[in-house]
Structure 1
């Protein structure tokens, strides 16, 4: 076991240093930060304009005295809706031919009018390309009802209703709903990070195979150790990226406010939930990464890797959907199934940590996921030996050579093999 760990460490260290100490890795780290920063800035700049572009405008043919109560009713209702949800009102003085004026207003391209209201509060008629049960018709009905009620109250004054509010610390339904929000946010973040980072393992062995370097490595160390070393090194590289992006998120939260404080408190508390998030990210990366490494090791060209990328991405989305269905019902059949199925288990268990206070299921889940990581590595290494190296389980050359060396000598041999591989690449 000591020799195996030394060999995996040598292979992993080489991959880690070769990747992290490169200019392309710096661009890889800064790329998402720049994209997110530009997206947020552009989103804030264009959100208001976008809402105004899609806001409906209704022309009201009425005198100022008739239009005043309608506009006042709209302003009273507006706080109950999101900005620009209610249609904007445009007043037009009545013409001698109302029908012709209505047609001209609907044809005015500069005003973007979708409907014209005539008849005032007593005989309202809405003309336009709208449906009987559409949003514009429903919202205009609310505005006119509010204006008519206000007119009736003006004739017979009624004191405004006062609602006495009794606040409680929390209710079970509200807590469950809020924790589900945290669960889905955690799942989404975990899914996005894995999609962004784990896919690189599909092509991790392609360079060594194309340059025949894998034969040198296979002669020095066991294939299992190569797989473990590459998988762990890629996990370490991804954690460097996550750390940099997390630091950027903390800086942004400090400058603009918000952060995780805007999310409801998870059931296990924020410190333990963040720790579980890190552990489940590592487990999810190792599970999918081991699978991707095994699949990608069978590819012989960049084209084959690109062909595999689509089904791999679709598979990740299906796993995310399965885990998402378990949110809100962690103890149901589908919730337990998502937690037991190894490839969706990290996502489902992270959501469980946001909703339930039990700790022991997480210890069992992490042990279960670690077992499946090892099984997938063994399967991938076995298929690689059989299909790529064309050697069966009984192939003895690498193992005999390995068995004659001490742990330090074997690790040194692996280092020399990897160094030679680097020279071949250069």
Structure 2
């Protein structure tokens, strides 16, 4: 048997051992459902709390117009006309119409200082030359009140009936809009970053466990250290693929039962290369990103003797990974800029930048070149990581090895 075949068989043996010891355990089920059990519940609870606070704040927001009874009907009609062009979440606060009682400016300032309701802007005076007082957060509300006064005068001049009635027809786009594709690119970058950040760190934890109970030294005595390194990397990558396949299947099935408006929004983010090609590229770039970071984590984990040292060494890598996410996000926001080119060339940010490019650009050749470039860096990173792995493991068992060698010579 050739050395390559022997190394391959030993690598696959270690990979199968790590995969089965991780997947076929009750703990893996907890890890598999962790995004739903912990992150989903936390997001739901936090979202309900934030929504409750936001709803309470929106209920207390008001814009006030201090006008005579003769102008009230025109202002109500103008508010009904202008408010219809806003989305519900972007609509101005509720309009509160009040009758002047004495000094209108003093009444307006008293309304802004109210403790029962949060008034963002107050309009008073004649509609042809009104005065609008507003709080620092009420700039848009003040502009809306000014437009409201102008629209009310137009309604008074021409009558409350609309002069024009438009027919609104919804038409589906044949292609996704560029802005929607940019949003899809950012979503792909975030998904890739989240998966690699969540799954690549498992390599370090497995290394720390086996170094603490001396299993790594038993493996090093049975097979070459290069086979141990590659086997661990391949085995944990298999665990990561299991996680991605499980949640990817759930996401695909959930997307088919989403409400129409949500489904239309997701359809608007259709990637430029098409769904199947984009999914294949996403898996390919996830593979490159995981192998790059996994090799670095394994090399770091082999240098640490205690879990505390592993945590201290993993923190700079995590910060570096967050920086790569920021660089790729900037590239997704401006696909034609120099930042996008730099992110695509730099090996550790290249998978993130190119998966964003796959969402907005339909060209295939840049992805072929990028995958070849990343594969070369994966080979280099694995080689350096394997050497660091050998140095770290042999250093832990070095004194015993030298003592036995000296005893044999004696």
Q: TM-score, normalised by structure 2?
A: 0.83
Name 2:155's counterpart in structure 1.
150
Asked whether the 8 Å contact 1:385–1:391 carries over to 2, the reply is: no
SS at match of 1:91: strand
Q: 1:305 to 1:62 in 2, by over 3 A?
A: same
- Are 1:222 and 2:255 an aligned pair? no
Asked whether the 8 Å contact 2:77–2:152 carries over to 1, the reply is: yes
SS at match of 2:159: helix
Asked whether the 8 Å contact 1:33–1:245 carries over to 2, the reply is: no
Asked whether the 8 Å contact 2:203–2:297 carries over to 1, the reply is: yes
- Are 1:238 and 2:207 an aligned pair? no
Aligned residues: 390
2:78 to 73, 76, 82: 73
CA distance in 1, matches of 2:172, 2:87: 27
**Residues 128-150 of structure 1: CA deviation (Å, up to 9, x unaligned):** 5348x922222221222221222
- Are 1:211 and 2:217 an aligned pair? no
**Residues 336-393 of structure 1: CA deviation (Å, up to 9, x unaligned):** 432232212212222232233333333333233223222212211212322441399x
Name 1:50's counterpart in structure 2.
54
Following superposition, the deviation at residue 274 of structure 1 comes to: 0.8
1:29 to 10, 27, 32: 32
**Worse-superposed segment, 120-129 or 21-30:** 120-129
CA RMSD of aligned residues (A): 3.3
Asked whether the 8 Å contact 1:60–1:117 carries over to 2, the reply is: yes
Name 1:420's counterpart in structure 2.
none
Following superposition, the deviation at residue 272 of structure 1 comes to: 1.0
Following superposition, the deviation at residue 154 of structure 1 comes to: 2.6
Name 1:402's counterpart in structure 2.
none
Gaps of 5+ in 1: 398-426
Q: TM-score, normalised by structure 1?
A: 0.80
1:272-291 equivalences under 5 Å are 272-291=277-296
- Are 1:119 and 2:125 an aligned pair? yes
1:173-322 equivalences under 5 Å are 175-257=177-259, 258=262, 261-322=266-327
Following superposition, the deviation at residue 96 of structure 1 comes to: 4.1
1:126-137 equivalences under 5 Å are 126-130=132-136, 134-137=139-142
Gaps of 5+ in 2: 403-410
- Are 1:15 and 2:18 an aligned pair? yes
Name 1:367's counterpart in structure 2.
372
**Residues 63-119 of structure 1: CA deviation (Å, up to 9, x unaligned):** 444223223212211232232531221223333454554454334322222343222
